[in-house]
């Protein structure tokens, strides 16, 4: 365990870096997350030297079949990068420089945003529990040799979090207000290789921006239990965060999922 002097030294060191190399999951396109076996904190892995990052990726790939990639985060993007980690439920930054590995609590590096003073109707939407459980599930799904028990537990936790979450549902609208019949509202869709259409949902604003870089879409916040009412007639189902987690749910399965995991279910 690092002493306080080591922590302060490393915390002050990070903002001075020209870049930092971060292990990302190839299947999630998000920082790779591990859970500490002792205190169960969720952590990501960062490295000053690219060679160390590549070695970590190689070790995870060989020993755990984790498909990882190394992503360089430029120095000027480090603060927004670390700030974005709250939306994924991350607790700890594992920071390696040369042979020294330091555990840095995320809240000691950047301040957690305080949304309590913002009126509820104006607060940005965040779903850290849903994001985190989705990351663990997709990471396990992408291993060559999956742990069936772990995969089942991750899937159950993710499904419960999905049903109990609210999502951003994007749309385009001709004019300033929707018409009574909704004829001036267009819902964007994504297609799979078979040409089937799926309606995208997003856990938060930064995930929506990955999909809508030009900011042409509007978005409504909808509880998952109301998603069947908001689905287009021609879509096969929904896809959550298509630019990262890419969690696909068939429309015909959604009512049973809601019934099973809704908050008042016994």
- What mean pLDDT value characterizes the chain? 91
Cβ distance 138 to 113 under 8 Å? no
- Res 29 pLDDT > 90: yes
pLDDT digits over 244-263, tens only? 999 999 999 999 999 999 87
pLDDT digits over 97-132, tens only? 999 899 999 998 999 988 888 888 888 999 999 999
Cβ distance 177 to 188 under 8 Å? no
Determine what percent of the chain is predicted with pLDDT higher than 70. Answer: 92
What is 170-210 written as a DSSP string?
A: EEEESSSS--TT-TTEE---EE-TT--EEEEEBSSHHHHHH
In this prediction, residues 128-153 reach a mean pLDDT of: 96
| Closest residue by Cα to residue 208 from 167, 174, 177 | 167
Q: How much is the pTM?
A: 0.91
Q: How far, in Å, CA of 191 to CA of 239, rounded? A: 10
């Amino acid at each position: 365990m690092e002493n306080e002097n080591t922590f302060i030294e490393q915390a002050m060191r990070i903002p001075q870096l020209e870049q930092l190399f971060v292990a990302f999951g190839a299947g999630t396109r998000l920082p790779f997350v591990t859970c500490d076996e002792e205190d169960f904190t969720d952590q990501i892995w960062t490295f000053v030297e690219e060679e160390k990052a590549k070695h970590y990726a190689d070790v995870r790939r060989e020993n755990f079949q984790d498909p990882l990639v190394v992503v360089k985060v430029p120095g000027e993007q480090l603060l927004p990068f670390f700030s974005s980690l709250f939306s994924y439920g991350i607790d700890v930054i594992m920071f390696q420089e040369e042979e020294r590995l330091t555990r840095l609590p995320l809240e000691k590096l950047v301040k957690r945003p305080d949304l309590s003073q913002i009126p509820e109707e104006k607060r940005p939407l965040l779903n850290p529990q849903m994001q985190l459980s989705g990351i663990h599930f997709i990471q396990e799904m992408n291993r060559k040799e999956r742990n069936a028990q772990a995969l089942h537990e991750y899937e159950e936790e993710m499904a419960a979090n999905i049903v109990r979450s609210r999502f951003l549902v994007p749309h385009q609208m001709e004019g300033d207000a929707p018409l009574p019949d909704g004829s001036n509202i267009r819902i964007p869709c994504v297609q799979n290789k078979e040409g089937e259409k799926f309606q995208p949902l997003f856990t938060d604003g930064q995930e929506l921006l990955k999909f809508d870089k030009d900011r042409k879409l509007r978005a409504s916040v909808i509880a998952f239990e109301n998603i069947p009412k908001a689905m287009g007639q021609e879509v096969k189902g929904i896809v959550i965060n298509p630019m990262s987690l890419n969690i696909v749910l068939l429309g015909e399965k959604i009512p049973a999922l809601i019934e099973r995991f809704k908050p008042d279910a016994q």
